[in-house]
Amino acid sequence: MIGSLAGRVESTHDGGCVLDVNGVGYLLSCSRKTLDRLTAREGVQKLLVETRVSQDAITLFGFFDAQEREAFRALIEVKTVGPQKALLVLSGLTPGQLAAAIAGKERKRLSEVKGVGAATANRIVDEPAMQKWAVGRATPDPDGAGGIAAVLPAAEAGPEADAVSALLNLGWRRPEAAAAVGRAAKRLGDQAELAALITEALKEMAPR
């Protein structure tokens, strides 16, 4: 198995590039965002690689960083989301933006990515494994939206109850959510704000 390749970009095309590694040209399928980052730099570049074997082909997928490869691996586990559609998703959204969209159940935002559509967006958002993958990976958008703010509910019964509600919206079960929020509240103290409670509770829920 090939884990990574380091070489010079020989050429790019819609959907991938050829990476020259010591005279051998490797054809890699890549997201638009990875291609943009490759073409913005010169010299030897390193790409992480995921190898997919089908009945009639062996395809290499290249990623600029581990976060994108991780998101790709999560996406292709969703029913009807194959490798090529996963690259379309990652061409429109960074891994952090994707996580924020999933956490906030922003179906419309996902469906507006070129080549994705409403049906695929719904499957991605509704997939429990994707909800768990999104925990702790969301990053704010340039305008300040997204991330934790994407899942904040309206304040109704105090920050702890609201934090539990936010975790339920992310797909966690109530006993687990309540326990995580309780531990977070104990650690942060009585004056903890809602956003801080959710952040600490998500850390509690993250796989170790």
Query: What are the tens digits of pLDDT across the range 178-188?
Result: 888 888 888 88
Residue 159 one-letter amino acid: P
What pLDDT, in 10s, does the model give residues 138-178? 665 444 344 444 444 433 346 787 787 777 767 677 777 78
The 3-state DSSP class for residue 142 equals coil
Q: How many CB atoms lie within 10 A of CB 108?
A: 10
Q: Where in the chain is the domain with CATH 1.10.150.20?
A: 66-134
Mean pLDDT of 98-105: 87
Confidence band, pLDDT 50/70/90 cuts, at residue 104: confident
Lowest mean per-residue pLDDT among 21-30, 65-74, 160-169 = 160-169
Q: Which residue has the tokens 């061409």?
A: 91
Which of 61, 41, 42 is closest to 51 using CA atoms? 61
Would you say the C-alpha torsion 33, 15, 123, 81 has a positive or negative sign?
negative
> Residue 157 has what pLDDT?
46
> What homologous superfamily is domain 66-134 in, according to CATH?
5' to 3' exonuclease, C-terminal subdomain (1.10.150.20)
β-pairing verdict for 16-21 and 24-29: antiparallel
Q: Where in the chain is the domain with CATH 2.40.50.140?
A: 4-63
Which residues does residue 61 pair with via DSSP β-bridges, in sequence order? 29, 50
Classify 152-205 by CATH class.
Answer: mainly alpha
User: Which CATH number is 4-63 given?
Assistant: 2.40.50.140
> Residue 139 has what pLDDT?
60
Q: Where in the chain is the domain with CATH 1.10.8.10?
A: 152-205
Q: How many residues does the chain have?
A: 208
DSSP assigned state of 153: P
